[in-house]
Amino acid sequence: MTAATTSAAAALEGMRALIGQEQYHEVGEFPVERSYVWTSCASVENGNPLYWDEAVAAEVTGGPIAPPSMVSVWFRPHHWAPGRSEQALPLQVHFDLKELFGLPEAVMTDNTIEFHTPVRLGDVLRTHQVLRSVSEEKTTKLGTGRFWVIDVVYANQDGDLVAIESYTGFGYQRGAS
């Protein structure tokens, strides 16, 4: 057995132990805020009056909410914060897998989000990540690597389930060209 196959076997074993485990419990760095809702709506020219008209929000959603598709945004940290020495990475499990398998590049291929309790302005959300599966080695037009599925579970400060997001990533080594 070569050193390379030994290290691949160790990586596989390490990965299997993580499947189904709740990892990286985190609390959002800042509360859900309207100006970021507007930044998001502006980026896609979303004129839904729920996000721009207080009276409509009061009538339809019992007060202002954030667009459901923004749920992951509340866990992407600002690029810098005082006293923070390391850049916290959203989807840390994804980066752990890249490192574990020595795969320098990665893309997301598939993403499902199920929306539960609406996110409201002022909410401080919490999250954890769960690795669901990792594929055998595969070769695509991008290179050779592995597909993996990671769930990100979001709840609000009252413990209500807000959303479950499921990502499929492909970590790879670029093929010789």
Partner 1 sequence: MSVVVTPLLLFGDVKVGDELPPLDYEVSATTVVLGALATRDWRPMHHDKDFAVVRNGTQDIFLNTPNQAAWFERYLTDWTGPHGRLARVTFRMKGSVFPGDTMSLRGVVESAEVDDTGCGFVTVDVKLSVDGDVKTTCAARLALPTTPDDNPWARRGDRWRPGPSS
> Is 63 or 122 the residue whose CB approaches partner 1 more closely?
63
Inter-CA distances, 111 with 22, 103, 146, 148, Å: 19, 20, 16, 12
Three-class secondary structure of residue 83 per DSSP: coil
Among 1, 3, 55, 176, binds partner 1 (CB under 8 A): 55
Q: Which amino acid is at 76?
A: R
Alpha helices, H only, 85-175: 92-101
* In the complex, least distance from residue 21 CB atom to partner 1, rounded to whole angstroms: 23
Stretch of 12-20, 115-123, 126-134, 145-153 lying at the interface with partner 1 (CB under 8 A): 115-123
Q: Which residues are 162's β-sheet partners?
A: none
**Residue 135 is a binding residue for partner 1 (CB under 8 A):** no
**Residue 22 is a binding residue for partner 1 (CB under 8 A):** no
- C-alpha to C-alpha distance for 90 and 152, rounded to whole angstroms: 10
* In the complex, least distance from residue 91 CB atom to partner 1, rounded to whole angstroms: 11
Among 19, 60, 88, 124, binds partner 1 (CB under 8 A): 60
Residues 65-84 that bind partner 1 (CB under 8 A): 67-70, 72-73, 76-79
**Residue 27 is a binding residue for partner 1 (CB under 8 A):** no
Q: Which H or E run contains 38?
A: helix 34-43
Number of residues assigned to the chain: 177
> Is 50 or 134 the residue whose CB approaches partner 1 more closely?
50
- C-alpha to C-alpha distance for 106 and 8, rounded to whole angstroms: 18
Which parts of this chain interact with partner 1 (CB under 8 A)?
36, 39-50, 54-56, 58-62, 67-70, 72-73, 76-79, 105, 107-118, 142, 174
